[in-house]
């Protein structure tokens, strides 16, 4: 038997070689028949994008954005994370116009830090704004104001938000991609995404009037109406005891509107740095106000 039969070793080698050849044949065939053309530029553009997958452009991530660029559906400038140079590089590569998109940043409609806005109670629960808001709306005297327990800073993937010494979030305009995460997390709805060209800004949401509003916060909008009177018609309106800016008429805006504001609730923003008007009372205090 031994002299005519093949050794088990040779059988195994032959069988495995046959199997390997057959399967590689199927793979080679499949590669031919099932191959899909993909634009090589997608990979190239994806390389140039920041890979943050933040979603601020409106697509699911950087690769879908690259696909949309090649189809011509979006403009390179709509990526708010890329630098000017990177955007220009993509535009040059594709031979298209980079587009002109006004940068948007997240802005907080509250200026009531611990040094100017009173707490009416001491809060000692979970250190989260959402958790504090379900208990009587939180400890702050002003029911509309920032609770200051930094849910927004924690949710920000770009590390663009930090809390300042008086407990208000500060947005770094360079890092902010306008992804909307802080807008969604804030239980008081204080954040909104604003084009940087919206330079006139009301940093308050308090709906009380006059002294009632000022009892809780020194930088509140008291609905005195001076800004609305000084601004061109149709730009500022007092609605429900709060100054509301109609950004449809943003081209009329000028720093003249903020000059007579007694509290400094309405500000003029230059490079995301807010300036108060001349009439606004100066706050030198840095310590938190005592509980009422």
Partner 1 sequence: MKLFRRHSFSHGVHPPAHKDGTAQIPVRRLPFPPRLILPLGQHIGAPAKSLVKKGEEVVRGQPLAAADGAVSVPLHAPATGRVRNLESVLTSRGSWEPAIILDVYEASTQEVLWRESRDLENLNPEALLQAIQDMGLVGLGGAAFPSHIKLRIPEGKEVDTLVINGCECEPYLTCDHRIMLEYPDDLIRGIHLAMRASGTSKAVIGIEDNKMDAVRLLQEKLAGTDNIRAQAVETKYPQGSEKMLIKSLLGREVPAGGIPADIGVVVNNVGTLAALGRLLPRGEGLIERVITVTGPGIKRQGNYLVPLGTPIGFILEQAGYSGGPNEFILGGPMMGPAVSSLDTPITKGTSGLLVLNEPQVREESRPRWACIKCGHCVTACPMHLNPAWLGQLAAAGEYAQMAEAANLNHCFECGCCSYVCPSNIPLVQYFRMAKAINREKAA
DSSP 19-33: HHHHHHHHHHHHHHH
Q: CB-wise, 76 or 138, nearer to partner 1?
A: 138
Cβ 251 to partner 1 shortest distance, Å: 34
Cβ 242 to partner 1 shortest distance, Å: 13
Q: CB-wise, 123 or 247, nearer to partner 1?
A: 123
Tokens of 164: 């300042």
H helical segments located in the chain: 8-33, 40-48, 62-71, 84-94, 129-133, 151-155, 181-185, 210-214, 226-230
Cβ 189 to partner 1 shortest distance, Å: 11
Cβ 132 to partner 1 shortest distance, Å: 9
Cβ 140 to partner 1 shortest distance, Å: 8
Cβ 136 to partner 1 shortest distance, Å: 4
Residues near partner 1 (CB under 8 A) are 120-126, 128, 130-131, 133-139, 143, 207
Phi, psi of 93 (to 5 degrees): -60, -45
Q: CB-wise, 163 or 207, nearer to partner 1?
A: 207
Q: CB-wise, 137 or 167, nearer to partner 1?
A: 137
Check if the beta carbon of residue 115 is closer than 8 Å to that of residue 286.
yes
Which candidate, 226, 244, 131, places its Cα nearest to that of 139?
131
Integer CA distances (angstroms), 50 to 80, 99, 101, 230, in order: 10, 18, 17, 44
Q: CB-wise, 122 or 282, nearer to partner 1?
A: 122
Check if the beta carbon of residue 216 is closer than 8 Å to that of residue 137.
no
Q: CB-wise, 39 or 212, nearer to partner 1?
A: 212
Q: CB-wise, 147 or 267, nearer to partner 1?
A: 147
Cβ 141 to partner 1 shortest distance, Å: 8
Q: CB-wise, 100 or 124, nearer to partner 1?
A: 124
Cβ 187 to partner 1 shortest distance, Å: 8
Integer CA distances (angstroms), 150 to 105, 163, 183, 279, in order: 18, 7, 13, 31
Tokens of 233: 């018609």
Q: Distance (Å, rounded) from C-alpha 81 to C-alpha 166?
A: 29
Q: Distance (Å, rounded) from C-alpha 204 to C-alpha 201?
A: 9
Phi, psi of 11 (to 5 degrees): -60, -45
Phi, psi of 200 (to 5 degrees): -85, 130
């Amino acid at each position: 038997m031994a002299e005519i039969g093949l050794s088990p070793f040779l059988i195994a080698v032959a069988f495995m070689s046959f199997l390997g050849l057959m399967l590689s044949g199927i793979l080679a065939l499949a590669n031919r028949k099932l191959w899909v053309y993909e634009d090589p530029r997608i990979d190239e553009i994806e390389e140039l994008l920041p890979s943050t997958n933040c979603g601020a452009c409106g697509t699911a991530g950087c690769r879908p954005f690259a696909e949309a660029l090649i189809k011509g559906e979006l403009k390179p400038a709509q990526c708010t994370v890329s630098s000017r140079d990177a955007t220009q590089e993509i535009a040059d590569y594709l031979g298209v116009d980079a587009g002109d998109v006004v940068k948007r940043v997240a802005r907080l409609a509250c200026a009531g830090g611990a040094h100017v806005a009173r707490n009416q109670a001491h809060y000692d629960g979970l250190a989260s704004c959402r958790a504090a808001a379900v208990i009587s709306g939180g400890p702050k005297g002003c029911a509309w104001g920032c609770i200051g327990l930094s849910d927004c800073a924690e949710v920000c993937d770009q590390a663009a938000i930090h809390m300042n010494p008086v407990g208000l979030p500060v947005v770094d305009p360079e890092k902010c991609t306008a992804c909307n995460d802080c807008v969604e997390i804030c239980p008081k709805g204080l954040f909104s995404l604003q084009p940087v060209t919206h330079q006139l800004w009301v940093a308050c949401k308090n709906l009380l009037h006059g002294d009632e509003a000022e009892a809780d916060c020194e930088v509140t909008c008291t609905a005195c109406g001076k800004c609305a009177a000084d601004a061109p018609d149709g730009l500022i309106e007092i609605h429900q005891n709060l100054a509301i800016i109609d950004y449809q008429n943003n081209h009329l805006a000028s720093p003249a509107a903020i000059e007579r504001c007694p509290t400094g609730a309405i500000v003029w923003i230059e490079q995301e740095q807010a300036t108060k008007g001349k009439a606004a009372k100066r706050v030198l205090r840095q310590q938190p106000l005592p509980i009422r």
